[in-house]
Amino acid sequence: MLSVMSDQIEAERLKRKREVALGYRIFASLRWGDLGDGHITARDPEFPDHMWLLRYPVGFERATIDDLVLVGPDGTTADGSEINITAYNIHHPIHDARADVVGVAHTHTPWGTPFCATGRPIEAISQEACTFFGNWAFFDDEEVQILNRNGGERIADALGDNQVGMLRSHGLISTGTTVAETIAAFVTLERVTEALMKVPDATPISDEAAVIARDDLQQARSLELAFQFLVSRHVGDPSVVG
C-alpha cells in the first residue's frame, strides 16, 4: 500500500512539474518573460509547504523538468540552486494562504501590465471576461518591487479566494487547482485585459448573462482544455521538457 501511495505521489509530482515547464515554454512563445520577469510555481504534493520553481537564470524558452528546483518555506532550495527571490516573496504566501491552490503564475505582459496601471475593474465585455466574473481581485498598492514576504502576504490578502488578480502598475497573477488551469487562466486574463484596453468604453453584458457564461465555461473545464491547445500551438511535442 505504501508503495502504491508513493508511486501516486511521484506521478502527481511529475505531472505538476511537467505542466510548470510547459507553462514557461508557452510564456516564452508569447514573448513574455524575455527579461526574466515572471515566474510559475507548483505546490509539491508530498510537502505542501514546498513549491517547484524554475532555477535562475534559465530562460523560459529552455525550461525543462530538470531545471525545476524545490523551494522550501524559508526560500532555500534543497540543492542550493539560485532562484528568482521575488517569485518566493510573491508566490509562497499565496500557496501558504490557499490550500486549494496548486499553481501560481505571474509575469509582465503587453496588455495586462498597462491595464493594471489604470485601476479599472474587469468588466464582462467579452466571453473570456465572463470566465472571471466575480472571481478577481485588485492589489491597490504602490509596492511594485516585492522585496520580502510581507509584500507577498499583502498580495495574498488582497487576492482572497479569487482565482486571478491585478497588481497595480505591476501585472497580472493567476492561480488554479492545477498548474494547467493556472496557465490557461493567465493567458485568458491577458486576452481579457487586451479587449478592455482596446475598447475602454464598451458596454458590459448583464450580470445574469455573465454568470450563465461563467458557469457553462467552468462546467466544460474550458481552462484545462485551453491548456492542451496552448501546448499544441506553442510547444508542440510536450516531451521536449522531459
Burial bucket for residue 27 (CB in 10 Å: 0-12, 13-18, 19+) = buried
Closest CA relative to residue 36, chosen from 69, 58, 66? 58
Angstrom distance (rounded) from CA 25 to CA 40: 11
Residues with pLDDT less than 70, the chain: 1-2, 4
**pLDDT tens-digit profile of 176-231?**
999 999 999 999 999 999 999 999 999 999 999 999 999 999 887 889 999 999 99
User: How much is the pLDDT for 92?
Assistant: 98
Q: Specify the pTM.
A: 0.96
The dotted CATH code for 2-237 is 3.40.225.10
Angstrom distance (rounded) from CA 65 to CA 73: 21
Per-domain boundaries in the chain: 2-237
DSSP state of 64: -
User: How much is the pLDDT for 236?
Assistant: 96
